[in-house]
Structures are given as structure tokens and as C-alpha cells.
Amino acid sequence: MFDKLEKVLMPMADKLGKNKVLLAIRDGFLITTPLIIVASLFLLFANFPITGWSEFWAGMFGEGWESWFTNVSRPVFEMVGFLSCFGTAYAYGRQLEGDAIQSAGIGMIAFLILTPTRIFFDGVPAVEGGDVAGGLSFLYLGSQGIFLGLFVSIIAVWLFNWVYRRGWTIKMPDGVPPAVSQSFEALIPSAVVMLLFFFIRIGFEFTPYETVHNFIYSVLQTPLKGAGNTLTAQLIYGVATTVFWFFGINGPAVANSVFGPITKVLTMENLEAFQNGTDLPNIFTDPFSNFFTNWGGGGSTLSLVIVMILFCNSKRIKQLGKLALVPGIFGINEPIIFGLPIVLNPIIIIPFILVPQVNLILSTIATNLGWIPYTTGVALPWTTPIGFSGYLSTGSLFAAVWQIGLLILGCAMYYPFIKILDKKYLEEEASAVAVEEEEISFDDISFDDL
């Protein structure tokens, strides 16, 4: 059965792992991730979940001190769609082995060509003598623009590089500085891309949607977001990541290229609601996935590590558990994945798949019942240890306790399976010792052997 599964999954993972578009989307989000994490820390400090926190700092710096920090976090979060476009365009240009900077530039311009540049005010004159102001609304640049940013960046960069590789460029004579020559070479490819998006914008103005933003958000982003914001979708994601790990493939790296854009939108929506002080809309955000389903990495293996240290007798397992404990606390479990191993291990694969699924289902129920709050969308590093991550991502101490409870439940689920492996390894170690003793025995030496 494993051979058949391997034959199906390995080619699939290989194709997904080499697909330049998916790689560009994944890497594009990674380019924006440092900005989002740093901005989240500013936002977290301004809204730290401790009673009296705001009043304490207000006594020192005066009312409104929070705006100092939100002035840093707000631009990042409200530009996340535009930043995703920039990051993906840059990464896709790099994947196509073209000029990454030119690719990022053409991606951003294509996005802005499609974006309304006038802001209408309902009954409030924006400028003297009118109710319209020139500018870009954050409505189109934030989470609502993520999917459009991805599409635009991929199409624009592909077309730019396609025209460039066709040789439809202006060649400058020898002796012209390279920077000048390169800028002229990019002229015609840039013009082709800008003309295409110019016509797209004009075309959509004659439709009921009026803008491409409205079309993408209504037709694609909203349905995809709704489909991804379900327990079923999250269960599929969880099974996919753990099964890929079983075959030695980095499951999240593969699955996130598909699920990542959806959960990113869900996370940003929660963050915007958190900043605005309104109800948080989504359960299945990135922090929820990172901090309420897995501890110690994929398969929630921190529970496994604890059982290995406390209850196993095999020297190999116990020593590996001690070595893997500190990395596991920070969400790194490669030592266990490849050292135990979990890869192609038919015994451990059962709890490896089940434990995160149980965590997901129970945490979803707890969230729906109001036992633990929705995650705020604040982007903590995925290496944030258990307990801290639950508290900081929700502001609830009970969420931290909940994590610990599920960690213990995971230990109980891993226990019978790791004990089977422990028994097997003990037998192997005993056999190895016997062989070693047999090899150094002088009783078997005879004059005939000499």
C-alpha cells in the first residue's frame, strides 16, 4: 500500500515543488513575512493583553500613545495585498531567471493600473468644491487585494519576460552604459504589459463590477475564502501535510502553496477587525493552524518527544528525545522526522496523522463554544513556544492552558505506538550487544582458526 501511495504522492509533490508559479507565490509571501511579523509586534505592544497595560503607559506618555505603534503596524497590514504583489512579482521574475527588480516594478505598476485612483466621499467634501480626492484607498491595497495581486504579478511578469525573450527590445550601441542599455531593453516589454492592463481596466469599467478588484473579490476571493474557512478544508490540509511528511516531503511547503493565500486572507481579515475593535470573523487563521493544532512541528511531535524522554527505555529513542526536546519546543522536528524515523514508519504514522486532527477538531469546538477566543491575526513567529503562543495570539490565559491540555492528550495518543517501537528497538539493541560480546569473545578462538 505504501508503495502505491508513494508512487502517487511523490510525483505530485515533485510537480508542485517545481512549479514556478506556486514557488513564486510561496516565496512572495515569505518576502513580506518579516514585515508582517515586525508590524505585529508593534501592534501587540500597543494592545498587550494585560489588564491595566494601556492605562500604565498612558500615565507615562499620555492618552493616545498607542497610535505611535499603530502608525508602524497599520501601513504594513493595510498594504499587504500590494506587498504580496510586489513579493510574488519579484520571486516569479527570479524563477524565470529574468530581471527580478524589473519584474517587481512591472508587477506593481500593473496592479496600480487596475486600482482606482480616486476616493469618493459620501456627503463630505474632500477638497474645496468637490467630494472626490485623488489617492489610493487602502480598501484595494490590503487583504481584499491579495488574490488580485497574485494574479496580476504572475501575468505581468510572465508577459514581460515572454516579450523580452522574444527579442522585442531596443538594442543600444556598444559603449552605452549597461544601466542605460538595460532600461531601453525593458521599454517595449513594459509597454506591452502596461497596454494589456490598460485595456483590462477599460474593459471592466463597462461591466457591473466596474473594477477588476470588485470582480476578483466577488467571483474568486470570497468563494475560495469561504471554502478554506471550513473544518473540512482544514482537515484535508492537515492530512495532506502529515502524509507528505511520512514520505519525507516537507508537507507544509507543498500544501501551503495551495492553502497559503487563503489562510493569509483569513488572517488579515482578523487583524483588520482587531485593529478596528470589531468582532473577529474567522477561526482558521495562520496562528490558529500554527498554535492550536501542532506543537513541536508537523504531527504535533512535541508530545511524542516528551513520551520518548519520560517513558521509553531504548537508549536510541531516549537519547534522540533529549536531543530533539529544545528544537521541538520551538517547532522544529526534523530530528524526529528523520531520526526516529517517522518517514515511512507504519507504526508512528497513525498518531502522527491523528494527533493534529484531534487538536484541530477539539480546538475548533472550543472556539465555537467560546472557551478560547478567536486569534487576533497578530503574526507571531511560528517558533513561539507553546503556552506563550496561545496567550499572545488570543489574549486568553485559558488558551495557553488549553494548549497544555492538548499537549498531554497528544502524549497519551502517542504512548502506545512509541512503546511498540521502543520494544522493537530494545530487542535490536540487545541483539547488537550480544553480537558485540560474541565478536570479542576469546573462547571461540582455536588453533585450527589460526
The mean predicted confidence, pLDDT, of the chain is 85
Indicate the pTM of the whole model.
0.74
The region that residue 331 occupies, defined by phi over 0 for left and psi between -120 and 50 for alpha, beta otherwise, is left
383 pLDDT band, cuts 50/70/90, is confident
Residue 97: inside a domain: yes
CA–CA separation, 348 and 317 (whole Å)? 13
Cβ contacts of 375 within 8 Å, gap of 6 or more: 267, 270, 280, 285, 287, 288, 291, 292, 393, 394
Residue 110, C-alpha cell as written in the block: 500593473
Say yes or no: 18 and 111 in one domain: yes
Residue 188: inside a domain: yes
Residue 142: inside a domain: yes
Residue 19, C-alpha cell as written in the block: 512549479
Say yes or no: 179 and 272 in one domain: no
Handedness of CA 385, 45, 88, 207 (dihedral sign): positive
Note the pLDDT tens digit of each residue in 341-351: 888 788 888 89
Res 108 pLDDT > 90: yes
Say yes or no: 220 and 84 in one domain: yes
Give the pLDDT mean for 239-263: 78
Helix (H, G, I), strand (E, B) or coil at 323: helix
β pairing state of 132-134 and 118-120: antiparallel
Residue 126: inside a domain: no
Residue 250: inside a domain: no
Pick the last residue of a domain from 208, 229, 250: 229
Say yes or no: 429 and 287 in one domain: yes
Residue 304: inside a domain: yes
Residue 155, C-alpha cell as written in the block: 501575468
- Number of domains, the chain: 2
Pick the last residue of a domain from 198, 229, 260: 229
Domain coverage including residue 193: 1-120+132-229
Say yes or no: 188 and 320 in one domain: no
Helix (H, G, I), strand (E, B) or coil at 129: coil
Note the pLDDT tens digit of each residue in 59-94: 888 888 888 888 888 888 888 889 989 999 999 999
Say yes or no: 109 and 174 in one domain: yes
Say yes or no: 152 and 286 in one domain: no
Residue 448: inside a domain: no
The full length of the chain comes to: 450
Say yes or no: 207 and 73 in one domain: yes
Res 6 pLDDT > 80: no
Note the pLDDT tens digit of each residue in 416-439: 999 988 988 888 888 876 666 665
Amino acid at 121: F
Say yes or no: 64 and 212 in one domain: yes
Say yes or no: 172 and 321 in one domain: no
Res 381 pLDDT > 90: no
Q: Which residue's C-alpha cell is 552604459?
A: 177
Note the pLDDT tens digit of each residue in 164-187: 998 888 888 777 777 778 788 889
Say yes or no: 173 and 316 in one domain: no
Q: What pLDDT shows up at residue 275? A: 82
CB count in 10 Å sphere of residue 433: 10
Say yes or no: 276 and 200 in one domain: no
